[in-house]
Amino acid sequence: TEKFDYLIVGAGLFGAVFAHEAALKGKRVKVIEKRDHIAGNIYTKEVDGIQVHQYGAHIFHTSDREIWDYVNQFAEFNRYTNSPVANYHGEMYNLPFNMNTFNKLWGVRTPQEAAAKIQEQRDAAKLSGQPRNLEEQAITLIGTDIYQKLIKGYTEKQWGQKATDLPAFIIRRLPVRYTYDNNYFNDTYQGIPIGGYTQIVERMLDHPNIDVETNVDFFANKDTYLANYPKVVFTGMIDQFFDYQLGELAYRSLRFETETLPVGNYQGNAVINYTDAETPYTRIIEHKHFEFGKGDADKTVITKEYPADWKRGDEPYYPVNNQENNNLYKQYAALAAQQKQIIFGGRLGQYRYYDMHQVIHAALVAVKAEFDPTK
């Protein structure tokens, strides 16, 4: 049988970057993926000429020139700029909170008028001392109107808990912009890969030294894998790897409902957040707007994103990085450090809410530690 130097568990961005770099160094790499496709959560699929983001809206953004150059080897990016819109009971507001938002809310026209209005609302709330929960924290930062219309319902849906039961630290700061700029990110580089994200991972894995198998779960044959591969890169859940022996880490899950509609343009924007408490989904994505209306002129594909509790067996989309879970993760990380055969990486392996640019960076750091440890 063929001999491999590395087994990579998970064909997401972390696993793919590591596999690609190892292959370039002459190593033979086996990649196993439990889903029926590669690319993890950045997976996109063409439907009616439209690139559909199968696991939620993904916008690439970074200020790191090296990461931007790195990812551009694998795809050409368009100039998409993330500028989401909020729908609160049919009232539409620009995000992030900026002069357009303040003007629509209060009729104010200048940064001075907006700042005065926010201060007036903070004062009226008469909160003093340390905020005791997320609601008090948000009102302290931004006042009641924005909290009630744009933060409360969305956050409660996202976490499945009342804002008054959520800890204040979840909102350390709120980006407030006293300009009419709707660009959500401050990063230097931003865009969507023309032709979708899947090609990025496809190209990373397209090397004679790399062998990829989908529909294969590491845990179906854990002991055999560990016996047969000198080195393993594991990008699944770290608590599952250790059989939950110290307890379960918490995650949030999501449910996506995708449909094709017989209209050319459904909502006029790629992302609309539903910030009221009653609408059960948090946002609707209209995929064609990521590529400036590409695809069929009479059709569009939309996805509703529903937040969901997580239990074993569900997809763990978000780590819940509160104190308790971070402490538990640290204990798992200490166990992981003793396993010299295994590199734990990525969003689930490191229990960190990594964005794409951060996961590429983390993978390149792991590559360096593995192949070039003295530099």
Active-site residues, by number, are: 173, 177, 252, 283, 305, 353, 355
Cβ neighbours for 238, distance < 8 A, ≥ 6 positions apart: 249, 329, 332, 333, 336, 344, 348, 349, 350, 351
CB 257 within 8 A of CB 11: no
Separation between Cα atoms, residue 284 and residue 264, nearest integer Å: 16
Asked whether the CA dihedral 301, 304, 305, 311 is positive or negative, the reply is negative
274 part of the interface to ligand FAD, by CB under 6 A: no
Specify the stretch interacting with ligand FAD by CB under 6 A; choose among 99-107, 139-147, 166-174, 351-359. Answer: 351-359
Stretch that binds ligand FAD, among 11-19, 136-144, 325-333, 336-344 (CB under 6 A): 11-19
Of 59-98, binders to ligand FAD (CB under 6 A) are 59-60
The piece of 9-17, 22-30, 70-78, 150-158 that touches ligand FAD (CB under 6 A) is 9-17
Alpha-helix runs per DSSP H in the chain: 13-24, 65-72, 99-106, 111-125, 134-142, 144-146, 152-159, 198-205, 222-228, 238-241, 323-337, 346-349, 356-371
DSSP letter (8 states) at residue 85: E
Shortest distance (Å) from residue 240 CB to ligand FAD: 7
Q: From the list 91, 217, 298, 309, which residue makes contact with ligand FAD (rule: CB under 6 A)? A: 217
> Which of these ranges, 169-177, 199-207, 295-303, 356-364, lies near ligand FAD under the rule CB under 6 A?
356-364
Q: Does 347 bind ligand FAD (CB under 6 A)?
A: yes
CB 22 within 8 A of CB 29: yes
- Does the protein bind ligand FAD through residue 57 (CB under 6 A)? yes
Helices 356-371 and 65-72 sit at what angle, rounded to 10 degrees?
90
Q: Which of 83, 58, 55, 85 is nearest to 257 (CA)?
A: 55
Contacting ligand FAD (CB under 6 A), which of 7, 29, 30, 40?
A: 40
Whether residue 136 contacts residue 142, with contact meaning beta carbons closer than 8 Å, is answered with no
Q: Which of 180, 219, 244, 371 binds ligand FAD (CB under 6 A)?
A: 219
Among 143, 236, 295, 307, binds ligand FAD (CB under 6 A): 236
Q: Based on the shown chain and the rule CB under 6 A, indicate whether residue 296 belongs to the binding site for ligand FAD.
A: no
Number of CB atoms found within 10 A of residue 277's CB = 14
Which position among 185, 189, 229, 317 is part of the footprint of ligand FAD (CB under 6 A)? 317
- Candidate residues 34, 45, 162, 252; the one interacting with ligand FAD per rule CB under 6 A: 34
What does the binding site for ligand FAD look like in residue numbers (CB under 6 A)? 9-15, 32-35, 40-42, 55-60, 217-219, 235-236, 254, 317, 346-348, 354-357, 359
